[in-house]
Amino acid sequence: MSKLVGNKVITIFDLHADVFKVLANPKRLEIVHLIRDRELPVSELEEMLDMRQANISQHLMVLRENNLVKTRRDGTKIYYSLTDSKILKASDLIREVLQTKFKGAKHITGLIDNDMKLEDYLKEYRDPVCGMMVSAKTAADSAKLSGKDFFFCARGCKEKFMKNPELFLKGQSIG
């Protein structure tokens, strides 16, 4: 991440800015959040994000080149995970600041409701599409269906769910 140019002195803030530059992209932030506590192959990220694989690979390359993400090969599949989960703590803190600032704003996805209590904020739900455990704190988006709350890891999962909720709610009553 450091770039030594001639005798230029590199400060900690230069390095800090480099990390922010890499993360200053909504798609890369979304990817980082999806692999917050597990490793995933590109094929699964593609499903969750509803993005083209080539596009995702490009973002993963940037994250990897800057040492934020590491890979593990298993057969033909390459799994991606965070090099250091502390980077996510930083991102979570920024999100908390935004949650407070924009609390209840209707036009922004992933925000908590005005009347949400802390215990509800942290309560974990299973993303009905991919099975990932998410909460209001970590989810990309949510939906209310017949009074029931659903949380989603990313936009792709929500879109799939909204097209045909019954498909993902086997045995669960939503009516």
What does each C-alpha distance from 118 to 60, 84, 102, 148 come to in angstroms?
A: 33, 27, 16, 18
Tokens of 86: 């502390």
Residue 167: count of CB within 10 angstroms of its CB: 11
| Smallest distance from Zn ion to CB 98, Å | 21
Q: In the complex with Zn ion, which residue's Cβ is closer, 18 or 39?
A: 39
Residue reference for tokens 């998410």: 134
Q: In the complex with Zn ion, which residue's Cβ is closer, 35 or 153?
A: 153
| Smallest distance from Zn ion to CB 130, Å | 3
CA-CA distance, 36 to 73, in Å (whole number)?
A: 19
- Ordered alpha helix ranges (H), the chain: 12-23, 26-34, 42-49, 53-65, 86-101, 118-122, 155-163, 165-168
Smallest CA-to-CA distance from 124 within 116, 138, 135, 132 is with 135
* Site for Zn ion, rule CB under 5 A: 48, 127, 129-130, 153, 157
Q: In the complex with Zn ion, which residue's Cβ is closer, 23 or 130?
A: 130
| Smallest distance from Zn ion to CB 123, Å | 17
Q: In the complex with Zn ion, which residue's Cβ is closer, 28 or 158?
A: 158
| Smallest distance from Zn ion to CB 160, Å | 9
Q: In the complex with Zn ion, which residue's Cβ is closer, 63 or 140?
A: 140
Please provide the distance, in angstroms rounded to a whole number, between the alpha carbons at the two ends of the chain. 52
| Smallest distance from Zn ion to CB 88, Å | 17
